[in-house]
Amino acid sequence: MRNGRKVGSAIIAIGVAASMLTMTACGTAGENDNASQSNGKIQLTFTGWVPGIESAVDLWNKNNPNIHVNFKRIASESRKNYSTLIEAGTAGDILQMSAFEMIDYVIDQQIMDISKYVGDKKDLFTDGTWSTVSINGGIYGIPQDSAPTAFMYRKDIFEQYGVRAPKTWDEYLVAARKLHKANPNVYIAAFTPNVIDFFESEFLQEGGSWYTVADDTWKVTLDSPQTRKIAERYQTLLDEGLVKTMEGSTPEFWSAVNNGEIASFNYLPWFTTILKEHAPDLSGKWAIAQSPSDSGNGPWSDDGGGANGLPKTANTRNRRPSSLRG
């Protein structure tokens, strides 16, 4: 999703939080409320990790002087502590979360159904992104971004060995063989057993699903035609030594990337930011093409995305100074 859409959706989430605080706080002033503590403003805390959200926060604060948002940046891994923070009442007012994690917070009743505040916002998003926050008849967040896959490759390495970016999975296998034959130290990709996103996105491209719901019961099925198809593709790559097997996101992994051993990633768009952070000397050497598919013309895959939700503890009455209450 474009950065402008990311900023816009974050602003919608801030507006929803502000509206809820305003409505729920009216007439509930406590004796110990002190407007000077907030300088006469509603104070909101927005917790997240994606670069660029500060732009949305700055724009909101500029246009809404009586409702100030403080952005709290965390490491992506720190979101694992959200449940504990929510139960402790210290999670703040707006939480950025991965779309695939949202269902857990809904089941545990830790985030709010905001349907009545965002019913008119659906048309601002694609059906796919809106569906990530629509759960069991409720709306539990504002979509922030989506994650369509793209083929990111070392253009200099591909050109050096006369290899074109593959459009089909058959061409991908040909490219892998050609690269590794030309230079045994170069692999078309890494095979990372601890990071399944690569496998998962290709599985979703095939229209697969590992679970269904019937009679309020989860049914999990890993053995499917789609799973076997992707597994066979990876088995061929592994058997021929065309991918480098290693743990992902480790110092060894990033060393292999920086050394030019890993020539491409068929991965999610936010990974470009991670590449820039961990391989800054390779800036300008990457190119992006559409992901391979069986036909060369789709379908393509999407592997989740992000959303902004409101924890159940967000509408704390003392966050709103008495001078602004109804």
Residues 276, 243, single domain; the answer is yes
Q: Which residue has the higher pLDDT, 311 or 14?
A: 311
Q: Which residue has the tokens 């700055």?
A: 58
Q: Which residue has the higher pLDDT, 6 or 53?
A: 53
Q: Which residue has the higher pLDDT, 145 or 155?
A: 155
3-state SS record for the chain: CCHHHHHHHHHHHHHHHHHHHHHHHCCCCCCCCCHHHHCCCEEEEEEECCCCHHHHHHHHHHHCCCEEEEEEECCHHHHHHHHHHHHHCCCCCEEEEEHHHHHHHHHCCCECCCHHHHCCCHHHCCHHHHHCCEECCEECCEEEEEEECEEEEEHHHHHHCCCCCCCEHHHHHHHHHHHHHHCCCCECEEECCCCCHHHHHHHHHCCCCCEEEECCEEEECCCCHHHHHHHHHHHHHHHCCCEEECCCCCHHHHHHHHCCCECEEEECCCHHHHHHHHCHHHCCCEEEECCCECCCCCCCCEEEEEEEECECCCCCHHHCCHHHCC
323 pLDDT exceeds 70?
no
Tell me the average pLDDT across 98-115.
Answer: 91
Q: How many domains is the chain built from?
A: 2
pLDDT of residue 270: 79
Q: Residue 20's pLDDT band (boundaries 50, 70, 90)? A: low
pLDDT of residue 22: 55
Domain range holding 288? 150-300
Range picked from 35-39, 96-100, 187-191, 320-324 for highest mean pLDDT: 187-191
Residues 185, 283, single domain; the answer is yes
Residues 176, 212, single domain; the answer is yes
Lowest mean pLDDT segment, chosen from 94-98, 236-240, 255-259, 288-292: 94-98
Residues 104, 180, single domain; the answer is no
Lowest mean pLDDT segment, chosen from 80-94, 130-144, 265-279, 306-320: 306-320
Tell me the average pLDDT across 46-68.
Answer: 87
Q: Which residue has the tokens 């063989």?
A: 177
Tell me the average pLDDT across 118-139.
Answer: 88
109 pLDDT exceeds 70?
yes
**CATH number of the domain that residue 263 is part of:** 3.40.190.10
Residues 189, 317, single domain; the answer is no
Residues 272, 315, single domain; the answer is no
Q: Residue 7's pLDDT band (boundaries 50, 70, 90)? A: low
pLDDT of residue 173: 98
pLDDT of residue 284: 96
pLDDT of residue 232: 98
Per the omega criterion (within 30 degrees of 0), is the bond before 299 cis?
A: yes
Residue among 4, 5, 270 at smallest CA distance from 121: 5
Residues 140, 155, single domain; the answer is no
Percentage, residues of the chain above pLDDT 70: 85
Lowest mean pLDDT segment, chosen from 177-186, 197-206, 256-265: 197-206
One-letter amino acid at 101 equals E
pLDDT of residue 177: 98
What is the rounded CA–CA span in Å between residue 282 and residue 265?
A: 14
Residues 270, 224, single domain; the answer is yes
Phi-psi region of 85 (alpha: psi -120 to 50; beta: other; left: phi over 0): alpha
Residues 160, 102, single domain; the answer is no
Q: Residue 39's pLDDT band (boundaries 50, 70, 90)? A: low
Residues 211, 295, single domain; the answer is yes
Residues 289, 311, single domain; the answer is no
pLDDT in tens, 259-295: 999 999 999 887 898 899 899 999 999 999 999 999 9
209 pLDDT exceeds 60?
yes
33 pLDDT exceeds 50?
no
pLDDT of residue 190: 97
Tell me the average pLDDT across 81-95.
Answer: 89
Residues 65, 156, single domain; the answer is no
Provide the Cα torsion 306, 307, 313, 315; round to 10°.
150
218 pLDDT exceeds 90?
no
